[in-house]
Copies of this chain bind each other. A is one copy, B any other.
Protein backbone atom coordinates (compact mmCIF):
# COMPACT_ATOMS: atom_id res chain seq x y z
CA UNK A 1 0.00 0.00 0.00
CA UNK A 2 1.41 3.38 -1.03
CA UNK A 3 1.16 6.38 1.27
CA UNK A 4 2.32 9.25 -0.91
CA UNK A 5 2.29 9.85 -4.64
CA UNK A 6 2.98 12.68 -7.04
CA UNK A 7 1.52 13.12 -10.52
CA UNK A 8 1.98 15.55 -13.36
CA UNK A 9 -0.78 16.80 -15.65
CA UNK A 10 -0.06 18.74 -18.83
CA UNK A 11 -1.81 21.97 -19.76
CA UNK A 12 -4.33 21.78 -22.57
CA UNK A 13 -6.05 23.72 -25.33
CA UNK A 14 -9.81 23.66 -24.69
CA UNK A 15 -12.31 24.14 -27.54
CA UNK A 16 -9.53 23.93 -30.16
CA UNK A 17 -11.47 26.72 -31.89
CA UNK A 18 -13.70 24.51 -33.93
CA UNK A 19 -15.20 22.43 -31.10
CA UNK A 20 -16.50 24.68 -28.36
CA UNK A 21 -16.74 22.83 -25.03
CA UNK A 22 -16.44 19.38 -26.65
CA UNK A 23 -12.89 19.22 -28.03
CA UNK A 24 -9.48 19.65 -26.40
CA UNK A 25 -5.86 18.62 -26.76
CA UNK A 26 -2.94 18.20 -24.40
CA UNK A 27 0.14 20.46 -24.56
CA UNK A 28 3.60 19.14 -23.76
CA UNK A 29 6.15 21.00 -21.64
CA UNK A 30 3.94 22.82 -19.16
CA UNK A 31 1.70 21.50 -16.42
CA UNK A 32 0.71 21.20 -12.77
CA UNK A 33 1.87 18.68 -10.17
CA UNK A 34 -0.09 17.27 -7.26
CA UNK A 35 1.44 15.51 -4.26
CA UNK A 36 -1.21 13.50 -2.42
CA UNK A 37 -0.71 11.81 0.94
CA UNK A 38 -2.92 9.29 2.69
CA UNK A 39 -4.37 10.49 6.03
CA UNK A 40 -6.35 8.64 8.70
CA UNK A 41 -9.27 11.07 8.73
CA UNK A 42 -11.94 10.49 6.08
CA UNK A 43 -11.64 13.94 4.59
CA UNK A 44 -9.61 15.98 2.11
CA UNK A 45 -7.18 18.64 3.32
CA UNK A 46 -5.08 21.18 1.46
CA UNK A 47 -1.59 21.36 2.94
CA UNK A 48 -0.05 23.89 0.56
CA UNK A 49 -0.22 25.47 -2.87
CA UNK A 50 3.22 26.21 -4.28
CA UNK A 51 4.29 28.18 -7.33
CA UNK A 52 0.97 29.94 -7.88
CA UNK A 53 1.09 33.33 -9.63
CA UNK A 54 -2.27 34.23 -8.09
CA UNK A 55 -3.95 33.41 -4.75
CA UNK A 56 -5.95 30.20 -5.19
CA UNK A 57 -8.75 29.11 -2.84
CA UNK A 58 -7.63 26.95 0.11
CA UNK A 59 -11.22 25.84 0.85
CA UNK A 60 -11.72 22.26 -0.31
CA UNK A 61 -15.03 22.90 -2.10
CA UNK A 62 -13.59 25.88 -4.02
CA UNK A 63 -10.28 24.30 -5.02
CA UNK A 64 -10.57 22.16 -8.15
CA UNK A 65 -7.94 19.61 -7.12
CA UNK A 66 -9.25 19.18 -3.58
CA UNK A 67 -12.81 18.95 -4.80
CA UNK A 68 -11.80 16.24 -7.26
CA UNK A 69 -10.13 14.29 -4.43
CA UNK A 70 -13.17 14.68 -2.22
CA UNK A 71 -15.43 13.43 -5.01
CA UNK A 72 -13.16 10.42 -5.47
CA UNK A 73 -13.04 9.71 -1.74
CA UNK A 74 -16.83 9.87 -1.35
CA UNK A 75 -17.80 7.99 -4.53
CA UNK A 76 -15.32 5.18 -3.90
CA UNK A 77 -16.33 5.09 -0.24
CA UNK A 78 -12.69 5.07 0.84
CA UNK A 79 -11.76 4.39 4.47
CA UNK A 80 -9.04 7.04 4.45
CA UNK A 81 -8.55 10.64 3.39
CA UNK A 82 -6.21 12.81 1.30
CA UNK A 83 -3.79 15.61 2.06
CA UNK A 84 -2.94 17.66 -1.01
CA UNK A 85 0.07 19.76 -1.95
CA UNK A 86 -0.39 21.53 -5.28
CA UNK A 87 2.61 22.63 -7.33
CA UNK A 88 1.31 25.02 -9.97
CA UNK A 89 3.14 25.33 -13.26
CA UNK A 90 0.28 26.74 -15.34
CA UNK A 91 -0.47 30.47 -15.03
CA UNK A 92 -3.80 31.58 -13.57
CA UNK A 93 -6.68 32.31 -15.98
CA UNK A 94 -4.44 31.76 -18.99
CA UNK A 95 -6.75 29.61 -21.13
CA UNK A 96 -4.36 26.68 -20.71
CA UNK A 97 -6.65 24.53 -18.57
CA UNK A 98 -4.81 25.23 -15.31
CA UNK A 99 -7.69 24.59 -12.94
CA UNK A 100 -8.44 21.34 -14.74
CA UNK A 101 -4.78 20.25 -14.68
CA UNK A 102 -4.65 20.58 -10.90
CA UNK A 103 -7.66 18.28 -10.67
CA UNK A 104 -6.24 15.84 -13.23
CA UNK A 105 -2.90 15.59 -11.44
CA UNK A 106 -4.61 15.17 -8.07
CA UNK A 107 -6.82 12.23 -9.10
CA UNK A 108 -3.90 10.44 -10.73
CA UNK A 109 -1.74 10.82 -7.64
CA UNK A 110 -4.61 9.70 -5.40
CA UNK A 111 -5.29 6.76 -7.70
CA UNK A 112 -1.85 5.37 -6.86
CA UNK A 113 -2.90 5.17 -3.20
CA UNK A 114 -5.91 2.92 -3.92
CA UNK A 115 -5.75 -0.81 -3.26
CA UNK A 116 -6.89 -1.36 -6.86
CA UNK A 117 -6.09 1.67 -9.00
CA UNK A 118 -8.69 2.68 -11.61
CA UNK A 119 -8.10 3.31 -15.31
CA UNK A 120 -7.40 6.94 -16.19
CA UNK A 121 -10.70 7.02 -18.11
CA UNK A 122 -12.51 6.11 -14.91
CA UNK A 123 -10.90 9.04 -13.10
CA UNK A 124 -12.48 11.46 -15.56
CA UNK A 125 -15.71 11.99 -13.64
CA UNK A 126 -13.83 12.84 -10.42
CA UNK A 127 -11.57 15.34 -12.16
CA UNK A 128 -14.65 16.82 -13.82
CA UNK A 129 -16.35 17.19 -10.44
CA UNK A 130 -13.29 19.19 -9.42
CA UNK A 131 -13.21 21.29 -12.57
CA UNK A 132 -16.82 22.24 -11.92
CA UNK A 133 -15.61 24.20 -8.88
CA UNK A 134 -13.79 26.65 -11.12
CA UNK A 135 -16.16 27.07 -14.02
CA UNK A 136 -19.55 26.24 -12.50
CA UNK A 137 -20.18 24.18 -15.60
CA UNK A 138 -19.38 20.59 -16.45
CA UNK A 139 -17.22 20.67 -19.54
CA UNK A 140 -14.47 18.12 -19.92
CA UNK A 141 -12.61 19.64 -22.86
CA UNK A 142 -9.55 20.24 -20.63
CA UNK A 143 -9.71 17.37 -18.16
CA UNK A 144 -10.28 14.73 -20.86
CA UNK A 145 -7.21 15.46 -23.03
CA UNK A 146 -5.13 15.99 -19.88
CA UNK A 147 -6.00 12.49 -18.66
CA UNK A 148 -5.84 10.68 -22.00
CA UNK A 149 -3.34 12.79 -23.94
CA UNK A 150 -3.79 13.79 -27.58
CA UNK A 151 -6.94 15.26 -29.09
CA UNK A 152 -10.10 14.18 -27.30
CA UNK A 153 -13.77 14.57 -28.12
CA UNK A 154 -16.33 14.49 -25.32
CA UNK A 155 -19.27 12.21 -26.11
CA UNK A 156 -22.61 12.02 -24.26
CA UNK A 157 -22.64 10.24 -20.90
CA UNK A 158 -19.07 11.39 -20.31
CA UNK A 159 -17.63 8.95 -22.84
CA UNK A 160 -14.32 10.05 -24.32
CA UNK A 161 -13.14 9.60 -27.90
CA UNK A 162 -9.48 10.02 -28.81
CA UNK A 163 -9.40 11.32 -32.35
CA UNK A 164 -6.66 10.07 -34.68
CA UNK A 165 -4.22 12.64 -36.05
CA UNK A 166 -1.99 12.50 -39.10
CA UNK A 167 1.77 12.54 -38.38
CA UNK A 168 3.82 15.74 -38.40
CA UNK A 169 1.38 18.03 -36.58
CA UNK A 170 2.68 20.52 -34.02
CA UNK A 171 0.76 22.96 -31.86
CA UNK A 172 2.05 26.38 -30.91
CA UNK A 173 0.44 27.99 -27.89
CA UNK A 174 1.24 31.57 -26.98
CA UNK A 175 0.36 32.91 -23.57
CA UNK A 176 0.25 36.70 -23.11
CA UNK A 177 0.98 38.00 -19.67
CA UNK A 178 -2.48 38.83 -18.41
CA UNK A 179 -5.32 36.94 -16.76
CA UNK A 180 -8.76 36.48 -18.33
CA UNK A 181 -11.10 34.63 -16.02
CA UNK A 182 -13.39 32.07 -17.65
CA UNK A 183 -16.38 33.67 -15.95
CA UNK A 184 -15.56 36.98 -17.65
CA UNK A 185 -14.98 35.25 -21.01
CA UNK A 186 -18.41 33.61 -20.75
CA UNK A 187 -20.17 37.00 -20.43
CA UNK A 188 -20.27 37.87 -24.16
CA UNK A 189 -21.71 34.43 -24.89
CA UNK A 190 -24.94 35.22 -23.03
CA UNK A 191 -26.37 37.17 -25.94
CA UNK A 192 -28.22 34.67 -28.16
CA UNK A 193 -26.73 33.58 -31.50
CA UNK A 194 -28.15 33.90 -35.01
CA UNK A 195 -28.69 30.74 -37.00
CA UNK A 196 -26.09 31.37 -39.71
CA UNK A 197 -22.88 31.19 -37.69
CA UNK A 198 -24.31 28.18 -35.86
CA UNK A 199 -24.93 26.31 -39.12
CA UNK A 200 -21.47 27.19 -40.37
CA UNK A 201 -19.82 26.02 -37.17
CA UNK A 202 -21.74 22.73 -37.15
CA UNK A 203 -20.49 22.04 -40.68
CA UNK A 204 -16.92 23.01 -39.83
CA UNK A 205 -16.80 20.76 -36.78
CA UNK A 206 -18.32 17.77 -38.59
CA UNK A 207 -15.81 18.13 -41.41
CA UNK A 208 -12.92 18.69 -39.00
CA UNK A 209 -13.68 15.38 -37.25
CA UNK A 210 -13.86 13.74 -40.66
CA UNK A 211 -10.48 15.31 -41.55
CA UNK A 212 -8.96 13.75 -38.41
CA UNK A 213 -10.16 10.27 -39.39
CA UNK A 214 -9.06 10.73 -42.99
CA UNK A 215 -5.75 12.37 -42.06
CA UNK A 216 -6.67 15.14 -44.50
CA UNK A 217 -4.51 18.18 -43.71
CA UNK A 218 -6.11 20.31 -46.43
CA UNK A 219 -9.57 19.70 -45.00
CA UNK A 220 -8.20 20.60 -41.56
CA UNK A 221 -6.94 23.85 -43.04
CA UNK A 222 -10.47 24.61 -44.27
CA UNK A 223 -12.20 23.68 -41.05
CA UNK A 224 -9.96 24.43 -38.04
CA UNK A 225 -11.66 27.74 -37.31
CA UNK A 226 -14.29 29.33 -35.11
CA UNK A 227 -16.84 31.76 -36.49
CA UNK A 228 -19.16 31.37 -33.52
CA UNK A 229 -17.37 32.06 -30.24
CA UNK A 230 -14.14 33.73 -31.39
CA UNK A 231 -15.80 36.93 -32.68
CA UNK A 232 -17.40 37.44 -29.26
CA UNK A 233 -14.25 36.82 -27.25
CA UNK A 234 -11.63 38.38 -29.48
CA UNK A 235 -12.28 41.92 -28.13
CA UNK A 236 -11.24 40.68 -24.66
CA UNK A 237 -7.75 39.83 -25.93
CA UNK A 238 -5.62 42.82 -27.02
CA UNK A 239 -3.94 42.08 -30.34
CA UNK A 240 -5.82 38.82 -30.91
CA UNK A 241 -6.46 39.29 -34.61
CA UNK A 242 -2.87 40.34 -35.27
CA UNK A 243 -1.59 37.26 -33.43
CA UNK A 244 -3.92 34.97 -35.36
CA UNK A 245 -2.90 36.62 -38.61
CA UNK A 246 0.77 36.15 -37.71
CA UNK A 247 0.03 32.46 -37.25
CA UNK A 248 -1.77 32.14 -40.57
CA UNK A 249 0.92 34.18 -42.34
CA UNK A 250 3.53 31.71 -41.12
CA UNK A 251 1.59 28.78 -42.58
CA UNK A 252 -0.62 27.70 -39.69
CA UNK A 253 -3.30 25.12 -40.52
CA UNK A 254 -5.59 27.08 -38.20
CA UNK A 255 -5.44 29.41 -35.21
CA UNK A 256 -7.89 30.55 -32.55
CA UNK A 257 -8.32 31.23 -28.84
CA UNK A 258 -7.10 28.53 -26.45
CA UNK A 259 -9.90 27.70 -24.03
CA UNK A 260 -11.43 30.91 -22.73
CA UNK A 261 -8.26 32.83 -23.61
CA UNK A 262 -6.17 34.92 -23.50
CA UNK A 263 -3.73 32.29 -24.87
CA UNK A 264 -3.83 31.75 -28.61
CA UNK A 265 -3.03 28.43 -30.30
CA UNK A 266 -2.12 27.48 -33.83
CA UNK A 267 -1.55 24.13 -35.53
CA UNK A 268 1.35 23.62 -37.92
CA UNK A 269 2.74 20.91 -40.11
CA UNK A 270 6.37 20.38 -39.04
CA UNK A 271 8.26 21.55 -35.97
CA UNK A 272 10.25 24.23 -37.77
CA UNK A 273 7.11 25.99 -39.02
CA UNK A 274 5.63 25.80 -35.53
CA UNK A 275 8.72 27.48 -34.04
CA UNK A 276 8.80 30.21 -36.67
CA UNK A 277 5.09 30.73 -36.02
CA UNK A 278 5.63 30.93 -32.27
CA UNK A 279 8.13 33.77 -32.73
CA UNK A 280 5.78 35.65 -35.04
CA UNK A 281 2.87 35.27 -32.62
CA UNK A 282 4.96 36.47 -29.67
CA UNK A 283 6.04 39.46 -31.77
CA UNK A 284 2.42 40.26 -32.59
CA UNK A 285 1.49 40.26 -28.91
CA UNK A 286 4.49 42.56 -28.28
CA UNK A 287 2.98 45.00 -30.79
CA UNK A 288 -0.06 45.08 -28.51
CA UNK A 289 2.32 45.77 -25.58
CA UNK A 290 1.92 42.29 -24.13
CA UNK A 291 4.83 40.12 -23.12
CA UNK A 292 4.11 36.53 -24.13
CA UNK A 293 5.53 33.02 -23.66
CA UNK A 294 5.34 30.41 -26.38
CA UNK A 295 5.07 26.62 -26.13
CA UNK A 296 5.58 24.32 -29.08
CA UNK A 297 4.35 20.76 -28.72
CA UNK A 298 4.32 17.72 -30.96
CA UNK A 299 0.89 16.19 -31.52
CA UNK A 300 -0.49 14.06 -30.05
CA UNK A 301 1.04 15.28 -26.75
CA UNK A 302 1.29 12.89 -23.82
CA UNK A 303 -1.33 12.96 -21.08
CA UNK A 304 -0.94 13.06 -17.33
CA UNK A 305 1.24 10.50 -15.53
CA UNK A 306 2.30 9.30 -12.11
CA UNK A 307 5.77 10.62 -11.24
CA UNK A 308 6.36 8.52 -8.17
CA UNK A 309 4.59 6.69 -5.35
CA UNK A 310 6.03 5.37 -2.10
Contact = CB atoms under 8 A, between A and B. Distances in A.
Interface of A: 19-23, 153-157, 159, 161, 163, 189-195, 198-199, 201-210, 213-214, 219, 222-223, 228
Given A195-B193, A210-B161, A156 B203 contact: yes
Contact of A202 (B156, B190, B202): B202
Nearest to A192: B192
A190 to B, nearest CB: 7
Contacts of A195: 189-190, 192-193
A199 B20 contact: yes
Contacts of A199: 20-22
A96 to B, nearest CB: 21
Contacts of A191: 192
A206 B192 CA distance: 22
A180 B222 CA distance: 35
Contact of A213 (B22, B190, B202, B213): B213
9 contacts: A21-B199, A154-B203, A155-B219, A155-B223, A159-B222, A193-B195, A201-B202, A205-B205, A209-B213
Top 3 closest pairs, chain A to chain B, by CB: A192-B192, A22-B203, A213-B213
Contacts of A22: 199, 202-203, 206-207
Contact of A155 (B23, B159, B161, B207): B207
A20 to B, nearest CB: 6
Given A19-B206, A21-B203, A202-B205, A222 B155 contact: yes
Specify which of A20, A199, A202, A208 lies most central, judged by the most chain B CB atoms within 10 Å of its CB. A202
A222 B153 CA distance: 14
A19 B198 contact: no
A194 B157 CA distance: 22
A159 B190 CA distance: 33
Contacts of A157: 222
Contacts of A153: 203, 206-207, 210
A135 to B, nearest CB: 13
A191 B203 CA distance: 20
A154 to B, nearest CB: 6
Which residue among A163, A206, A222 has the maximum number of chain B CB atoms within 10 Å of its CB? A206
Given A22-B203, A155-B223, A156-B204, 17 more contacts: A21-B199, A22-B199, A22-B206, A23-B206, A155-B203, A156-B207, A156-B223, A159-B219, A190-B195, A191-B192, A192-B192, A192-B195, A193-B194, A193-B195, A198-B228, A202-B202, A213-B213
A189 B196 CA distance: 10
